[in-house]
Structure 1
Amino acid sequence: MKAQEISKNIDTLQENIDAMLVELEITINNLVPINKE
């Protein structure tokens, strides 16, 4: 694999991880009721 391809794959992985983290955060927020007082 060329370095350019590896770099592109890493960028894709980072985007996927970011999306997964957002979904995880939403899921956690839905599971844990937050007391807003």
Structure 2
Amino acid sequence: MPSCPRCHSKMVRRMSNGNYFYGCSAYPICKGTRNL
């Protein structure tokens, strides 16, 4: 599992508008994302 590019926390797989991406587990405090 990748780490967040902004805060280095773990990232979790999320879906928005039918597309998957990695979002920071510290959301909403940190809004870091990565493409799958």
Quick one: higher RCO (CA 8 Å, sep 6+), 1 or 2? 2
Higher strand fraction: Structure 1 or Structure 2? 2
The reply to whether TM is greater than 0.5 is: no
TM-score w.r.t. length of structure 2: 0.21
TM superposition score normalised by structure 1: 0.21
Normalized per residue, the structure richer in helix is 1
